[in-house]
Structures are given as structure tokens and as C-alpha cells.
Amino acid sequence: MTGLVAFTVLVALVGLERVAELVVSTRNARWSRERGGVEHGLGHFPFMVVLHTGLLVGALAEAWIRQPQVPAALAWSMLALVVASQALRWWCIATLGPRWNTRVIVVPGMPPVTSGPYRFLRHPNYVAVVVEGIALPLVHAAWITALVFTVLNAALLVVRIRVEDAALATLPRSDAAPEPRTEAAGA
């Protein structure tokens, strides 16, 4: 039972982190709109909110209902991945600064960001989302939640990345970065 309580605290902490993201996102979306930012892909956003909320609720529900035996090696390795995914997510947020938000809002005329994790990956925040979506439920062996989230998130990311890539194609390209590695917003 102690592991289940600890897992509940972990999920609650991730939930609080999401609230912090929403505060930053709201402020940053306002900043982008004040500079003429144009939002793209409104249709998929409600599904994204439900899916990410479902990850937290589903992981807790599955853990409390199934109460699986959790090998320590699984719990600790998945916890390390959850922490790493949070670090990557906040690196993305810090790198994009006021341009980061949970929506796809592009400020016309601003070149794509090509620093930080965007030097290495086109959509690093989604790497964090994928890793967290698998690892967080598996901290307490909630494999059903991890599987369902991963499949639904894969479908969502196909849509989301297409929307972002189309929005980013409207931005000017920097001579120093012929193939920009960036994302317009995080999830």
C-alpha cells in the first residue's frame, strides 16, 4: 500500500506540474497573440486536453483498482524516465521562452527556434510526452493505461505534428538553419 500512496503523490505532483504549464502557457499565448500570433489546429486541442487528463486519471484508477505487484527495478527505472521527461519538457519551455504554449500559435515574421533541444530534434517536447506517457503509468505497473495512452497519443501526434509543421512553414527561414528543428508549441 505504501507504494500505491507514493505513486498517488507522484501523479499528483505531475498534475501540479501540468497546472504550472497551463499558467505559463496562458501567459505565453497572450504574449504571442499580442504580437499578431495566429492559432492553428483548434480542432484537435480538446482531444489533447482529455487525453492528457486521462493519462493521470487512468494511471491512478488502474493502480488502485488492479493493485499490481510492482518490481522495484520497474518502478525505479520508470521513475527515472519520468524525471528525465520532465527535464526535457522544461528545457523545451525554457528554450522557446514566451513562444512556448500548449496550443499552436505562430507569430508571423519570427524565425523558428533552433537552439536548445531543437538543435537535435524537430519536436523534442513530444519525445518527452511519449516517454512520460509510457513511463508514468509503469511506475506502478499500470500497463493498460500506458498502452491506451500511447496508441491514442500516437494518433494525436500525427495530427498535431502536421498542424505544427504547416504552421512553421509560414515562418521565415534563417540562413544559418536551412532545416529548422523546432515546434510551435508544447503539449
What is the rounded CA–CA span in Å between residue 84 and residue 87?
5
pLDDT for the residue 179: 45
Instruction: Give the architecture (CATH level 2) of 2-168.
Output: Up-down Bundle (1.20)
% of the chain exceeding 70 in pLDDT: 92
Residue-range domain boundaries for the chain: 2-168
What is the rounded CA–CA span in Å between residue 96 and residue 20?
16
Strands of the chain, DSSP E = 38-40, 104-106
% of the chain exceeding 90 in pLDDT: 87
- What is the reported pTM? 0.89
pLDDT for the residue 151: 98
pLDDT for the residue 91: 98
> Measuring CA to CA, which residue among 83, 115, 104, 136 is closest to residue 40?
104
Q: What does the pLDDT look like over 62-71, one tens digit per residue?
A: 999 999 999 9
Q: pLDDT band at 2, cuts 50/70/90?
A: confident
Alpha-helix runs per DSSP H in 35-123: 45-66, 72-96
Q: pLDDT band at 174, cuts 50/70/90?
A: low
- In which residue are the cell numbers 519538457 written? 89
Mean pLDDT of the chain: 92
